[in-house]
Amino acid sequence: MPFVNFHNTDDFISIHYQTNSQYGNVGGFDVDKPIILILSPMFFDIRWLDNHCGDPRLYENYNVIALDTRCSGETMSRPSPRHDTWVEAADVALCLLVCHILT
């Protein structure tokens, strides 16, 4: 499964994600299709989205990407007292920039 890694002096995160592309990463996205971003609820991983990514109403018309949060699934991060929903939102924004989805 694909990961996006972020490092700095006091934090580390390796965000796990899943797509509906042929190879399971954003490199296989069809540039002509719009993108649907699915965010998991807190403490749930993205495995519950397997049926969503396999739904022909979605995969035939959209590129689908689902992201694990810092505290769920296969995502790995350092425990931090600063972890809150603002940090989660920043993680999502950075992940989308690194994956060249927002460019």
pLDDT digits 0-9 by tens, 31-68? 899 988 888 777 778 887 777 777 888 888 998 888 88
pLDDT value at residue 31: 86
What are the tens digits of pLDDT across the range 13-28? 888 888 888 888 888 8
pLDDT for residue 30 is more than 70: yes
Nearest to 37 by CA among 47, 22, 26: 26
CA angle 87, 91, 93 (to 5 degrees): 115
Tell if the pTM clears 0.85, that is, is over it.
Answer: no
Per-residue pLDDT at 103 exceeds 50: no
Note the pLDDT of residue 51. Answer: 74
Q: What is the pLDDT at residue 102?
A: 55
pLDDT attached to residue 26: 84
Neighbours of 88 (CB within 10 A): 16
